[in-house]
Every structure is written in structure tokens, then in C-alpha cells.
Structure 1
Amino acid sequence: MDAKDIEFFRKYLNQMLDEILRKGEETIEDMVESPEVYADPADRATAESDRSFTLRLRDRERKLIKKIQQTLHRIDDGSFGICEECGEDISVERLKARPVTTLCINCKSRQEEEEQVRGE
């Protein structure tokens, strides 16, 4: 992978990180605002369900933050784009689809097949 690709991924990952952090801040702001009063219990239940869904999304994004930070570290140490299992290069197309991946498509496919056999 050339320096141009590396810089593309560094910039892309930092943009992802900024966007996740911005959404998190907006969620906190929305939750801190004065609570709304609902005349209908069904409206309140819908609002609570929406809030719960948003919190689950933010929790998933919190986990993604860690993966992004690890990926940025791999960019810095020169191991980005190299499969952790077989040591081969991970294709740029795969990295564009899932920039935080640590496995090439062949190793990931094999891992998923093994998980299916074990029933995970």
C-alpha cells in the first residue's frame, strides 16, 4: 500500500472518529435538556423506546471508537493493511469497506465458517 492510500485511510478514520464523537455530544445534549411531558402514555413509551435505541447505537459507536483508535495506531506502527492471521496484504477494496478490519477476506471467511461449525 502506498503513502497516498495510507493518508486516505488516516483521514477517513479521523473523520469517522470526529463524526461519532459529534453524535455522542448531541445525544448527551438532547438527554440533558428539560424532560418532555407526555399527555399520552403511548407517546412516552415511544419516546423512551427511541431513546433506548439511540443509546444502543451510541454504545456500538463507543466500541467502534476503540477499533478506530487501534487502527490509527496500526497506521502509525506500519502494520495497517496486513492480515494478523496470514501476514498477507489486505486488499484496499476490503479496507475501504471495513477500514478497521485486521483480517484479509480469506482469513475472515475461514473464521466465520469455523464459528458456524462451532455454533457461535
Structure 2
Amino acid sequence: MKPADIEYFRDLLKQMRDEIQKKGEDTIEDMTEDVQVYADPADRATAESDRAFTLRLRDRDRKLIRKINEALERIEDGSFGICEECGEEIGIPRLKARPVTTLCIKCKSRQEEEEALLGD
């Protein structure tokens, strides 16, 4: 991979991480400000459901931040863009679609096929 490509992905990953962290900070701020008393139990249930959904999203974001940090570590150690399974280069289009990926499209497809067979 060219140095310009590496720099592109480093910047992209850092930008993704910053955006996710900002969303998390906004969520914390919103939840501390949004202490309300609801007269109607249905309104309270809706608010609780919305809050639970938001917390699930932030949990997914937390896991994605871990993957982003791991991808940044791979950039630093020179293994970014190399499939962990077969050792081949992961294509730039795949990395642009999913910059935290560790598998090339062929190995990922094979993994999904195996999971589908086990799931049936």
C-alpha cells in the first residue's frame, strides 16, 4: 500500500473515532439534561425505550472505537491492509467500505458462508 493510502486511512480512522466520541459526549449531556417526570405511563415507557436504544447504539460505538484503535495500531506496526487469514492485501475498495476490517473479501465471504452453514 502506498504511503498516501496509509495516511488517508489513518486520517479517516481518526475522524471516525472523533465523531463517535463526540456522539457519546452528546449522549451523556442529553441524558443528564433530560430528567423529566411523565404523568402518562405510555410517555415514560417511550422515553425509557428511546434511552435504552440510544445506550445500545453507544455500546456498539464503543466496540467500534476499539476496532478503530486496533486498526490504527496495525497502521503503526505495518500490518494494516493485510488479511489476517490468508496474508494477501485487502483491496482499497474494501478498506474504504470498512476500514477496520482484518479480512480480505474472499476470506470474509468464506467466513460468512461457514457461519451460515453452522446457523442452519
Match of 2:119 in 1: 119
Deviation at 1:117, TM superposition (A): 1.4
Match of 1:66 in 2: 66
Structure 1 letter corresponding to 2:106: N
The root-mean-square deviation of aligned C-alpha atoms, in Å, is: 1.1
Structure 2 letter corresponding to 1:100: V
Deviation at 1:35, TM superposition (A): 1.0
The whole-number CA distance in structure 1 between the counterparts of 2:52 and 2:70 is 28
Deviation at 1:34, TM superposition (A): 5.3
Structure 2 letter corresponding to 1:83: C
Aligned residue runs from structure 1 range 34-73, under 5 A: 35-73=35-73
Aligned residue runs from structure 1 range 1-120, under 5 A: 1-33=1-33, 35-119=35-119
The whole-number CA distance in structure 2 between the counterparts of 1:7 and 1:54 is 32
Deviation at 1:67, TM superposition (A): 0.3
Alignment size in residue pairs: 120
Q: Percent identity?
A: 73
TM-score (norm 1): 0.96
Deviation at 1:43, TM superposition (A): 1.2
The whole-number CA distance in structure 2 between the counterparts of 1:15 and 1:31 is 24
List runs of 5+ in structure 2 lacking aligned partners: none
List runs of 5+ in structure 1 lacking aligned partners: none
The whole-number CA distance in structure 2 between the counterparts of 1:35 and 1:62 is 24
Larger deviation, residues 23-32 vs 100-109? 23-32
Deviation at 1:32, TM superposition (A): 1.5
